[in-house]
Structure 1
Amino acid sequence: MSAPPQGRPPRVMRCPVCADEFVWPDDPYISLHDERNDRFELVDVSSLSPTKRDNLVRKGYRQCPNPAGDTPEHYLPATYADHGDPLVIGLVGAPISGKTHLLTAMIRQAYLNGLATHGVTVTALDVRRHKAFREYFILPFERGDLLAGTGNGIVEAADILLVRGPGGQRPVTFFDVAGEDLESTDPRANRFLMATNAVIFVHASEDPLETGRSSGRSENASFEQAVAQLPGDRLPAVIAVTKADRLRYVPPAERWLHRGDETELKADRVRAESRDVYAYLHQAGALASLRPFDEFARCTLHFVSASGGDAVPVDAADPGKKHFPHGFHPTRVLEPLVSILAMTGIITGPEADRVGRP
């Protein structure tokens, strides 16, 4: 690894996958992925023209040195350190809480320019990773298929975007980890929390169809584990009540679902929705799911619906295979992300400064 150019201090980065810190290399070697053989090849780009070099760097990777040596080999986009401080967003929730559907709908809407009214644009920083995310999650979701939950033991990021807003441009990494891993007491199972600097806590609305019991219960092991490991005085948090379409005729959720997607950031409106979600969760007896509100200095609460309805079996002989018969109709899925972007300075201004504050 060569030394940084004279006068430019080395940049220390924290890997979102292994949570180790290391000095970002400043040498002409990048790794390119060979799709045919599914392997990475180290390439020296120093002799290439600037146009060719920049093209390969945009498509290339840097291998994380993982100083602790406790994580399998992994790579970050070669341009990961070329922008502002990375934002790592973790989705935390119990099994079958709807994390995967919410994340898929959220990223899809962001790519469809859903954040443009806030002055924010989104592109793929890791093109290869986003292609896989689109193939395995977004396209099946658009077909109305029920998405499989996140598999246990997966420590890789779901997607890495480049988000440009009034506050600059920053890499944004999303982690969707299996609820079973989040509830595990094994610290290796939820290591990603050490690199997280914003959290979306996902609580499913009354959920008897999948679980046979109400999710408004007094314990939430996923939330408890995350709250215990995260510094709530420094990180912004969101509580998203998913599957809120089941509450479309129930106040106060119906008020917010009928509004649809918001086009302007208003701190008073965010506070009003947060108050109503808090009241709903408190009345439902889901007090453990409200703990992030008490522990995090900046926190907002939102009603969201990723699909707009429940999935039903495709074939009576195979009840496990389901789809959404009326297609998918995401509602307010960007509101949690807008709050995070406001609380982390990507969306700026007086209204953004007030979001999530008492």
Structure 2
Amino acid sequence: MSTPEEEPGARRVLCPYCLDKIRYDEKQLFVRNDENKFVPLGLEKEGTNKLRRDDAVREAFHKCGNSAKMHDHYLPAPYFTNGEPLTVALVGSSRAGKTHLLASMIGEVERGALDVHGLKATPLHTESHRSYLDQRVLKLRAGEMLAHTEQTDFAEFADGLLVGGGGTARPRPVVFFDLSGEDLERTGRVTRFLAAVDAFLFVVDPLRALPLPYLDAVRERTKQRTDDLGDRSFGTVLDRVPRDGRPYVDKAAAVVVGKSDLIRFEPAVARWLTAPESARPTARALREESRDVYAFLRHHGGPAWLKPFSDCARCTLHFASATGGQEDAGGFPQGVRPRRVLSPLLSIFAMCGLLPGADSQEVGL
């Protein structure tokens, strides 16, 4: 992890796209013009005025050296000028609810829900973050059903934040990848970034995982069916991550039973889905929730749905609902009421040393 005194350019930062390690270089700074094309920033025109230079860099992009011969790609400059980046990938089938879960997470962060946990979050890149809010968060909060993530030939992160504890240390860039389930099941270059991801959020779809009779009507309406073989994207992703000869994946992981509002009357689910998120999660509380989720999934869904827990050295399990209710006629006419969507993210932060007061060595074991 970088020290507070370390200057930009003193270390190499891993590009999450091509896996090159690149050093910050002011000559590689670009901005988007009116035609949305990247053009050189030309930082020299700001002279030696530190305020103007810093402001220009905050909204600039850094071009990657790209030795992998991919098409040109760029990262927000603050990705290089702050603390050690943390990359988080959401994993699950196309109908698991990953996009809604991430939008609800970012929405909770935007309204200041991290403050009570001793964390502050600001956009990694203001314009990109505003676009994500407009296209995802605000639409969901207005009751719109979000479209599934489309397949792509190049995996870009959906949104990025700068997250810190408010002390003297530089905040850390946190970026979120939300790929389609079809892409996650591929093994080509589009999923190469998985080899360098720091943390995973595995999203379980209860409609596929849980053969509970009272879910049959929803399955029939949405044309889904149960599958005791689990989510294929889980296995594909876990097999793609290097283990360096060890039996387990040495990455932070959280398993989230999404759409838990569908099973909210189950005692184990009700206990956690109604619990407030205002209290800072302790290793003990996370173990208790993980125990309940594990037992519930193991009993009703089977071991295949617990593959991330079996394969990852450190993993927590959670119940959460991105919307608080079912969609109706392509939307949420009663509005959305996220439930426990921050808990998986806080668990990831704790395991990665980003949550103040948490013992990063105890969480997820």
In the TM superposition, residue 353 of structure 1 has moved relative to its aligned partner by 3.6
Which residue does the alignment assign to 1:257?
273
In structure 2, what residue type is equivalent to 1:341?
F
Q: Once the two structures are superposed, what CA deviation does each residue of 1:183-220 show, in whole Å capped at 9, x if it has no partner?
A: 12x32231221220100001011351434213x52232
Q: Name stretches of at least 5 consecutive residues in structure 2 with no aligned partner.
A: 1-6, 209-218
* Distance in structure 1 (CA, Å) of the matches to 2:163 and 2:147: 27
Q: Which structure is higher in strand share?
A: 1
In the TM superposition, residue 50 of structure 1 has moved relative to its aligned partner by 1.8
Which residue does the alignment assign to 1:342?
350
Quick check: 1:29–1:44 contact (8 Å CA) kept in 2? no
Larger deviation, residues 13-22 vs 89-98: 13-22
1:173-188 to 2 correspondences below 5 Å: 173-184=175-186, 186-188=187-189
Distance 1:41 1:189, change over 3 A: closer
| 1:312 equivalenced with 2:320 (yes/no) | no
Q: Once the two structures are superposed, what CA deviation does each residue of 1:216-275 show, in whole Å capped at 9, x if it has no partner?
A: 522321000111122444211000000000111112111111213242222111111101
* Distance in structure 2 (CA, Å) of the matches to 1:346 and 1:137: 25
DSSP-derived class of the 1:223 partner:
helix
Which residue does the alignment assign to 2:195?
194
1:323-342 to 2 correspondences below 5 Å: 323-342=331-350
For these two proteins, the number of residue pairs brought into alignment is 338
* Distance in structure 2 (CA, Å) of the matches to 1:30 and 1:350: 36
Larger deviation, residues 329-338 vs 133-142: 133-142
1:1-358 to 2 correspondences below 5 Å: 10-25=10-25, 27-28=26-27, 30-34=29-33, 36-48=34-46, 49-70=49-70, 72-153=71-152, 155-165=155-165, 168=169, 169-184=171-186, 186-206=187-207, 208=219, 209-214=221-226, 217-230=228-241, 231=243, 232-313=248-329, 322-349=330-357, 351-357=359-365
DSSP-derived class of the 1:265 partner:
coil
* Distance in structure 2 (CA, Å) of the matches to 1:259 and 1:326: 22
In structure 2, what residue type is equivalent to 1:200?
L
In the TM superposition, residue 9 of structure 1 has moved relative to its aligned partner by 7.2
In structure 2, what residue type is equivalent to 1:100?
T
Quick check: 1:257–1:332 contact (8 Å CA) kept in 2? yes
Q: Once the two structures are superposed, what CA deviation does each residue of 1:259-299 show, in whole Å capped at 9, x if it has no partner?
A: 13242222111111101111111112342221111111110
* Distance in structure 2 (CA, Å) of the matches to 1:286 and 1:99: 21
DSSP-derived class of the 1:272 partner:
helix
In the TM superposition, residue 326 of structure 1 has moved relative to its aligned partner by 1.1
Quick check: 2:277–2:342 contact (8 Å CA) kept in 1? yes
DSSP-derived class of the 1:337 partner:
helix
* Distance in structure 2 (CA, Å) of the matches to 1:275 and 1:336: 14
Quick check: 1:270–1:355 contact (8 Å CA) kept in 2? yes
* Distance in structure 2 (CA, Å) of the matches to 1:159 and 1:271: 29
Quick check: 1:159–1:173 contact (8 Å CA) kept in 2? yes
Fraction of identical pairs, as percent: 37
Q: Give TM-score scaled by structure 1 length.
A: 0.89
Larger deviation, residues 84-93 vs 161-170: 161-170
Q: Give TM-score scaled by structure 2 length.
A: 0.88
In structure 2, what residue type is equivalent to 1:46?
E
Q: Which structure is higher in helix share?
A: 2
Quick check: 1:17–1:157 contact (8 Å CA) kept in 2? no
In the TM superposition, residue 81 of structure 1 has moved relative to its aligned partner by 1.4
State the Cα RMSD in Å.
1.9
In structure 2, what residue type is equivalent to 1:113?
G
Quick check: 1:31–1:42 contact (8 Å CA) kept in 2? yes
Which residue does the alignment assign to 2:215?
none
In the TM superposition, residue 150 of structure 1 has moved relative to its aligned partner by 0.5
Larger deviation, residues 224-233 vs 297-306: 224-233
* Distance in structure 2 (CA, Å) of the matches to 1:234 and 1:118: 26
Q: Name stretches of at least 5 consecutive residues in structure 1 with no aligned partner.
A: 1-6, 314-321
In structure 2, what residue type is equivalent to 1:66?
N
Which residue does the alignment assign to 1:318?
none
Q: Once the two structures are superposed, what CA deviation does each residue of 1:44-65 show, in whole Å capped at 9, x if it has no partner?
A: 2124222211111111111112
